[in-house]
Amino acid sequence: MNYVLKKFPSSRMRRLRMKPFLRNLVSENSISVNDLIWPIFIVEGKNEIQKITSMPYVNRFSIDRLIVELEKPIKLGLQAIALFPQINADLKDDNGIYACDPNNLICRAIQKVKSCYPDLGIITDIALDPYMTHGHDGIMVGDKIANDKTLEILKKQALVFAEAGCDIVAPSDMMDGRVGIIRETLETNGMKDMVIMSYAAKYASSFYGPFRNAVKAQKLTRILDKKSYQMNYLNSDEAMHEIALDLNEGADMIIIKPGMPYLDIVYRAKNQFGVPTFAYQVSGEYSMIISSSSSNNLNEMDMIIESISCFKRSGADGVLSYFTPILLEYLKNN
Ligand code: PBG
């Protein structure tokens, strides 16, 4: 800021806060339907709406049900969804083979959603945890997650989802080099315009707990945390390094995850790289807002709006949020 700061009383900061229209005119940020991505859990079956105990009001939908559930949000301006599967236990293994099956749950969901709503953006998660018996994002060799072996599966998964017709592949596994190998695979298979939205800075976080319950990958076995591949939350320079690598390897957009406790990372990333930057308001943040509002005289809708607004203020171009459906309704009415 380079203006000369006037002193009180020639300057009274409250003047511009006195009336709604003044506050509106001078607001520096806003949220719109174009800022929101709705993460959705899907499951096999017919007309299934399964409650997720760890995330009140969030459900898993079967594909046919998803089509119904999307109708209203799309009318209200929904731009894009991010699909996450809950895979039946008998289809899981230690190699994530089902992730690359062109007829898997995600591929069928992409095709169905695209046939009903061709303009809705579909983002798919490139990671193996929902498909693995042990719940990790990579292939295990001994007591380690094998980076390069995992890349071989991830590139197939990305290609299969791209060929099924998704618009964006979003690698969230945090293996080294995955964006590059996915980009190369897409290029050599005629998918030059496929967008890669990389979870560039993804931290090993306790805030993912409810999500792991939602996709039934909550019981990590053999290695009990994801700290050997997801980032240490004490670090910020390292996030800039991760982002630089992913951009060099061919990412078009980046995600910072989790969201609210990591706004400094969003701010830094946007300032340093100036690329499309998204924040993921993850399952634990969702559940925290829901559970605190029911008990402590907190207004849930106000908290939700404030949280999304703060993402925008920090520099995020958009937010992945489980609150998207009610936010769309709110934005329509306000
Ligand atoms: C898996 C994945 C996770 C989330 C999105 N993709 C969980 C994890 O890394 O363990 C978490 C999202 C959320 O908590 O809402 N690759």
What integer pLDDT is reported at residue 297 of this predicted model? Answer: 77
**Contacts with 113 (C-beta within 8 Å, 6 or more apart), sequence order:** 63, 66, 67, 70, 81, 120, 122
pLDDT in tens, 112-135: 999 999 999 999 999 999 999 999
Query: Could you tell me the pLDDT band of residue 221, with boundaries at 50, 70 and 90?
Result: confident
pLDDT in tens, 148-166: 999 999 999 999 999 999 9
The DSSP result for 24-78, as a single string, is HHH-S----GGGEEEEEEE-SSSS-EEE-TTSTT-EEE-HHHHHHHHHHHHHTT-
Determine the distance separating the centroid of ligand 1 and the alpha carbon of 186, expressed in angstroms: 24
What integer pLDDT is reported at residue 219 of this predicted model? Answer: 78
Give the active site residue among 92, 156, 202, 312.
202
Q: How far apart are CA 42 and CA 36, in angstroms?
A: 19
pLDDT in tens, 279-311: 999 999 999 999 987 777 789 999 999 999 999
Mean pLDDT over residues 202-214, rounded?
Answer: 94
Q: What is the pTM of this model?
A: 0.97
First and final C-alpha spacing in the chain: 32
Atom 14 of ligand 1, residue of closest alpha carbon: 208
Atom 11 of ligand 1, residue of closest alpha carbon: 208
What integer pLDDT is reported at residue 2 of this predicted model? Answer: 67
